[in-house]
Chains A and B, each alone.
Chain A
Amino acid sequence: MAPIEPTLFVLGDHDQGQISPSTWEGLGLAEEIRRHHPAPVKIILLGEAVEGPAAQAAEETGVDVLAVEVPGLRNFQAEIALQVLPELFFESPPACLILPHNSRSWELAPRIALRLGLACIPGVTKILQEKDRLLFRRSLYQGKILADLAVETRGVVLTFESGYFKFSRSPLLVKGSWELKTRPPAESRAELLEITPAVETEASLREAEVIVAAGRGIGSEETLDLIHRLAALFPRSAVAGSRPLCDLGWLAYNRQVGQTGATVRPRLYLACGISGAYQHIAGMKDSGFIVSINRDPQAAIGQWSDLRIEEDVKTFLPLLIETVQKYREGRGYDGKMTDSRLSKME
Chain B
Amino acid sequence: MNGPLKILVCVKQVLSQDGPIEIDPSDLSGRSLFAGNPPLYALNRFDEFALEEALRVKDAFPGTNLHVLTVGPARAEAVLLRALGMGADHGVHLLTIEGEAPTPFQISSWIADRSGADAYDLILTGVMAEDDLEGLVGPLIAERLGLPCAASVVSFWVFPGQNRVEAEKEVEGGRREKWRLLLPAVLTIQSGINKPRYPSLSHVLRARKQALEIIPAAALPGYEPRQSLVRYVLPEKVRTGRVLTGTPEEKAGRLTRILGEKGLLT
Interface residues of A (CB under 8 A from B): 75, 78-79, 102-104, 106-107, 109-111, 113-115, 118-123, 130, 135, 137-153, 156, 189-199, 209-210, 233-235, 243-244, 246-247, 249, 253, 256, 259-261, 267-268, 275, 277, 285, 289-291, 297-298, 300, 302-311, 315-316, 319-320, 322-324, 326-328, 331, 337, 342, 345-346
Contacts and interface: CB of A to CB of B under 8 A. Distances in A.
B228 interface: yes
A199 B248 CA distance: 38
The 5 closest A-B pairs by CB, nearest first: A247-B192, A198-B174, A345-B253, A106-B151, A346-B253
19 contacts: A102-B172, A107-B139, A110-B140, A111-B142, A115-B143, A156-B227, A244-B191, A285-B238, A303-B235, A307-B244, A308-B242, A308-B244, A309-B244, A322-B252, A324-B265, A327-B260, A327-B265, A337-B257, A342-B257
A256 B174 CA distance: 10
Contacts of A285: 238
A345 B256 contact: yes
Interface stretch (B19-27, B78-86, B113-121): B19-27
Contacts of A309: 243-244, 251, 255
A293 to B, nearest CB: 9
Nearest to B191: A247
Given A210-B264, A319-B249, A320-B256, 7 more contacts: A75-B177, A111-B143, A141-B131, A190-B180, A249-B195, A311-B248, A323-B255
| Interface of chain B, main secondary structure | mixed
A196 B178 contact: yes
B248 A324 contact: no
B257 A345 contact: yes
Given A103-B152, A342-B253, A337 B260 contact: yes
Interface string B230-247: 111111111111111010
A290 B239 contact: yes
A198 B234 contact: no
A323 B139 contact: no
B34 to A, nearest CB: 11
Nearest to A115: B143
B248 A195 contact: no
Contacts of B253: 323, 342, 345-346
A323 B251 CA distance: 10
Contacts of B140: 110-111, 114
